[in-house]
Amino acid sequence: METKLTLKLDQAIIQRAKQYAEEHNRSVSKLVEDYFRNLIVNRKDKTHYSPLVEELSGVITPDDINNSDYTSYLEAKYE
């Protein structure tokens, strides 16, 4: 169930938050919700990751990293 919440914040912070949200295709409400969720979960369980990390988890496997052309390129570049 969603409930409306009114916050009083510095106007400059609000503008920067709106810009950040737009750049990342998210709403300010979603950013605040994710932040609060992260605070609450991290308090209970120190192994919790941010919603974005959880969403991306499993997309790349260790085999993908070890066998990628990009890995080879980086290894050659920084030898």
Domain coordinates of the chain in residue numbers?
11-77
Report d(CA 66, CA 62) in Å as an integer.
6
Report d(CA 28, CA 56) in Å as an integer.
21
Report d(CA 53, CA 49) in Å as an integer.
6
Cα torsion through 52, 13, 37, 56, rounded to 10:
0
Distance of CA 38 to the CA centre of its chain: 10
pLDDT above 90 (res 17): yes
pLDDT value at residue 66: 64
Higher-pLDDT residue of 68 and 73 is: 73
Length of the chain: 79
| pLDDT tens track for 23-66 | 999 999 999 998 888 778 756 555 666 777 777 777 677 766 66
Question: pTM for this one?
Answer: 0.51
